[in-house]
Structure 1
Amino acid sequence: MAMATACLRLAAVPLGLAPPPPRRAPTATGVRYGLKTSRLSVAVRAADGGTGGEGSTEVPEIVRAAQDAWAKVEDKYAVTAIGVAALVGLWTAIGAIKAIDRLPLLPGVLELVGIGYTGWFTYRNLIFQPDREALVSKIKSTYKEITGSSS
């Protein structure tokens, strides 16, 4: 009979709701946490030379360079507007690329275009020896123009 009464009590609790967990006294945990915190702050002060970080105003070199560059700018509003416009443009371009990527036929069409261009380039420049020699000489002359070398 006692078993039946216990089952009835469990069935009386609504589904999905559990009684709240018992509360613990925060004093023991708080003391341990406070000791760890105080030991950490003592270690930081000792590593910092005892100043506690209050007297150190050392700025990293990259931040100093950025501050100097910003101080040299005459029209700060225009530079800020260009920066915001660049971020908006980047965000828009990423959205457009994601939208194009979701289209069902476009990736397949672009793949066919790539295969077709590869075939055309191979036929035009790589199959016959005179065409290959012309391509190699064009690549070498372009390389010389870019690097400025005479050899």
Structure 2
Amino acid sequence: MASSTAAIAVPSSTTLPEAKSARPQVAASPQCVGLPTLTPAPTAAHSRPQNREGWKSMASCRRIARSVMAMATGDAVAEVGADISSVGANISGVGTDISDITKSIVEAWDKIEDKYAVTSLAVAGVVALVGASGVISAVEQLPLVPGALEVVGIGYTGWFAYRNLIYKPDRQALIQKIKDTWKNII
């Protein structure tokens, strides 16, 4: 494999000893020194085994890893032929919670009459969320804007607390307004 070289400029005030300048000079001027580049790292560690012994060692490593995980969690070591459902049954309570959640989601989806509109709203919500995230990250990069917005937020919070939370009649009016809004929504 031939090694390629890259040229780096060296100031004229420095000189290289003759014993160390055995590398080939690639540069056009005497002020440049050619340095060899690094070869790429081998990728055999992430590739699939090519022979039967490689597959056997990979299987034994997986078996050892499963045994270590079982010992760490206190579960019994699963047999080689055990299927995923029997291994998943060792986790207590998680399967029933997931199935209950799935059933409630399916029941709620079946009750919806206009599934196209709900799906469209969900997609529009995701797009709006991504767009808002982009706008916020862009505004965050501007100088002085995040600090100014923080001061505005602190000021509004103080004004809201002074206006609605300090005195009892104002608190009761705010609570009543929240309850009325909640009733209108639901």
Normalised to the residue count of structure 1, the TM-score between the two structures is 0.49
Structure with the larger helix share: 1
Identify, as 1 or 2, the structure richer in strand: 2
- More relative contact order, 1 or 2 (CA 8 Å, 6+ apart): 2
- Structure with the greater alpha carbon radius of gyration: 1
